[in-house]
Amino acid sequence: MSYKTEQEAFWAGDFGTQYSQRNQGDSLLASNLNFFSKALRQAHGLNTCIEFGANIGMNLKALKLLYPLQEQDGIEINAEAAAELAKVISSAHVHQGSILDFVPQKTWDLTLIKGVLIHINPEELPGVYDKLVLTCGKYLLVAEYYNPSPVTIPYREHRDRLFKRDFAGDILDRHPKMVLVDYGFAYRRDPSFPQDDITWFLMEKRA
Domain ranges of the chain: 6-205
pTM to 2 decimal places:
0.94
Q: How far apart are CA 2 and CA 163, in angstroms?
A: 22
How does pLDDT run along the chain (207 residues), one tens digit per residue? Answer: 678 898 888 878 677 677 767 767 889 999 999 999 999 999 999 999 999 999 999 999 999 999 999 999 999 999 999 999 999 999 999 999 999 999 999 999 999 999 999 999 999 999 999 999 999 999 999 999 999 999 998 887 677 789 999 999 999 999 999 999 999 999 999 999 999 999 999 999 998
C-alpha 58/C-alpha 97 separation (Å) is 18
Fold observed for domain 6-205: Rossmann fold (3.40.50)
pLDDT digits (tens, 9 = 90+) for 137-196: 999 999 999 999 999 988 876 777 899 999 999 999 999 999 999 999 999 999 999 999
Backbone angles phi, psi at 67, to 5 degrees: -130, 80
